[in-house]
A and B are shown apart, each in its own frame.
Chain A
Amino acid sequence: MTTTQKPDPKQFVADELDLPFWEGAARHKLLIQHCATCDRYYWPASICMQCGKQDLPWVEACGKAKVYTFTVIHRPWLQNWAADTPYNVTVVELDEGPLMFTNVVGCGNDEIELGMPVEVTFTDLDGGGTLPQFRPATG
């Protein structure tokens, strides 16, 4: 998947609550929120569903996940993704629990399947920012 034209992902956040995720990605860390009281993890920024705690701290996820569902987009709706089309957008279930949007890289779109173990990889974008993507797990 070529990535040169991608916009800085930070432009898509609704407000500053999710910025730590992208700042972490820039340092090649996959950050998710953790409620220490309930030992539950969240992504994107969330209130704790169990105890209602707000402003949960961001902690580093292990980076392992399984493919939960995915699609392969065949239309060049986004100019920045036209060169990659068809490209996959995939939902993975992180080992810590949360579902997360991403792309699976390092294998063909036709090799992606539900339950497939994947691991995080960080793609630095020419236009600034870093995209956490996932590749088939190595070990």
Chain B
Amino acid sequence: MAIESGKYAIVGLGITKQGKLPDYTTRQVVAWAVKEALDDAGLERKDIDGYIYGHQDPSVVDLRYLGLTPKFSWYMQTGGATASATVMAACGAMEAGLAETVLLVGAHRPWSTRAQIGGHGYGIAQAWGLVSPVASHAFHASRHMGVYGTTPDQLGTVAVVQREHACKRPDAIEYGNPITLEDYYNSPMICAPLRRLDCTRDTDGGVAMIVTTAERARNLKSKPVFIRGLGVGHNIRRWHDKSLYNGLDCATAKESAFRMAGITTADVDVFQCYDAFSINVIMQLEGYGFCNEGEGGPFVMGGDTRLDGRIPTNTGGGQLSGWYVMGYTALSEGLFQMRGQAGETQVKDAEIALVTGHGANAGVQNTWAHGCVVLGK
């Protein structure tokens, strides 16, 4: 049985400086995000009774250093689906009566530590030289182009539109740096058909947020954003029917999340989808029904993901032009939109935000975990 829509809420959002943080350790970045989130919510450290660190590195889990004394401390990682998975874990823990104020943290410093996302090995396929999520997503892009006729212009337009959004948001890394399709074509090929401007970068930074009961949330300092729907899907299903390169398992996630929220695609006002690569946006516009299968490219080309389009998408610039923290980018922007704090890219009267993430292979490349969270006012 699904959790009741709106029973839990996200309060307190803490975001560190994003980009390059060579003078900080990762523990300091975590502490920075935690302090911001607590201050934002008006909560104290002793109020936190659950802690979830969204990363795979247990050495950074240091409750002593953070001054926290929760009843549980978990670390979990499922790539770009990590942010939504930690929200689900927090809701599950609260639903089980184990906690009522759960702190979620995502933080890493890949730029400063020179952890090359590009160089991540991929098991058996590395025998043929396959490394990096860029190459895996290039499999999606090639397939999408071959099957549906998606074009490089359409991929490039995803990057251009999100850069337009970033140029209106001073906290985006690419603020003040607009691009054109010509710039897109001048950016180097990384894994064809994906160019540099089709890809996010490895940036340093941290995000923290607090999940609590709606009742408690209403009495706190920050404007609560309610968790309306939760959904998960997994692309292993599409490995078996050999459609995994065409898209993600949005369908399964959408079914449960929209049922819990009592909404349809038409009710979604802003879409914050996990965009480590441009093709992801196209696949998810299709997967969540904003357009038909195979029509994501023309949809973007037609301006429908712009602020005045049918579904304003990745309004903070996304990961392509903003910053990257394991799916917390999209979740943070969803919260900003629901709080009315999205600055110049605030979508007027937005009531429902759909946030997604995917990542972590499960036995074979492109068998991503996928998760979504429906946020509401």
A14 within 8 A of B: yes
Q: For A133, list chain B residues within 8 Å (CB).
A: 128
Report the minimum CB–CB distance from A47 to chain B (whole Å).
11
B125 within 8 A of A: yes
Report the minimum CB–CB distance from A97 to chain B (whole Å).
8
- Of B125, B128, B132, which contacts A77 at CB under 8 A? B132
B179 within 8 A of A: no
Q: Which of B31-39, B184-192, B311-319 contacts A (4 or more CB under 8 A)?
A: B184-192
Report the minimum CB–CB distance from B357 to chain A (whole Å).
22
Residues 37-55 of A contacting B (Cβ, < 8 Å): 44, 49
Given the known interface contacts A14-B123, A14-B124, the answer about A71 and B129 at a Cβ–Cβ threshold of 8 Å is: no
A27 within 8 A of B: no
CB–CB A71/B139 < 8 A: yes
CB–CB B245/A69 < 8 A: yes
- Of B125, B132, B143, which contacts A101 at CB under 8 A? B125
Given the known interface contacts A69-B139, A69-B142, A91-B245, the answer about A74 and B128 at a Cβ–Cβ threshold of 8 Å is: no
A59 within 8 A of B: no
Residues 77-95 of A contacting B (Cβ, < 8 Å): 77-78, 80-81, 84, 86-87, 89, 91, 93
CB–CB B126/A12 < 8 A: yes
Residues 303-325 of B contacting A (Cβ, < 8 Å): none
Given the known interface contacts A77-B131, A114-B142, the answer about A71 and B191 at a Cβ–Cβ threshold of 8 Å is: yes
A128 within 8 A of B: no
Given the known interface contacts A73-B191, A99-B242, the answer about A18 and B142 at a Cβ–Cβ threshold of 8 Å is: no
Bound Cα distance A133, B128 (Å): 8
What mask results when residues 111 to 140 of chain B are scored 1 for a CB within 8 Å of chain A, else 0? 000001011010111111111100100111
A103 within 8 A of B: yes
CB–CB B191/A75 < 8 A: yes
CB–CB B128/A68 < 8 A: no
Closest residue of chain B to A87 (Cβ to Cβ) is: B129
Report the minimum CB–CB distance from B129 to chain A (whole Å).
4
CB–CB B124/A18 < 8 A: yes
Report the minimum CB–CB distance from A4 to chain B (whole Å).
14
CB–CB B143/A72 < 8 A: no
A9 within 8 A of B: yes
- Of A93, A101, A115, which contacts B124 at CB under 8 A? A101
- Of A87, A99, A109, A131, which contacts B127 at CB under 8 A? A131
Q: For B132, list chain A residues within 8 Å (CB).
A: 73, 75, 77
Q: For B191, list chain A residues within 8 Å (CB).
A: 71-75
- Of B131, B146, B189, which contacts A114 at CB under 8 A? B146
CB–CB A93/B242 < 8 A: yes
Bound Cα distance A6, B130 (Å): 13
Report the minimum CB–CB distance from A131 to chain B (whole Å).
6
CB–CB A89/B128 < 8 A: yes
Closest residue of chain B to A9 (Cβ to Cβ) is: B127
CB–CB B143/A69 < 8 A: yes
A36 within 8 A of B: no
B348 within 8 A of A: no
Bound Cα distance A93, B127 (Å): 18
Residues 329-377 of B contacting A (Cβ, < 8 Å): 364-365
Report the minimum CB–CB distance from A80 to chain B (whole Å).
8
A70 within 8 A of B: yes
Report the minimum CB–CB distance from A24 to chain B (whole Å).
14
7 nearest A-B pairs in the assembled complex, by CB-CB distance: A114-B146, A9-B127, A71-B138, A72-B192, A69-B143, A101-B125, A81-B129
A/B interface sample: 18 pairs, CB < 8 A: A71-B142, A72-B192, A73-B132, A73-B191, A74-B188, A74-B191, A75-B118, A75-B190, A77-B116, A77-B118, A78-B131, A86-B189, A89-B125, A89-B135, A101-B130, A103-B129, A114-B142, A131-B127
- Taking A70-B142, A91-B245 as known contacts, 13 extra A-B pairs with beta carbons closer than 8 A to each other, sorted by chain A number, are A9-B127, A12-B121, A12-B123, A44-B124, A49-B240, A69-B142, A72-B191, A75-B118, A75-B191, A77-B119, A89-B130, A114-B146, A131-B127
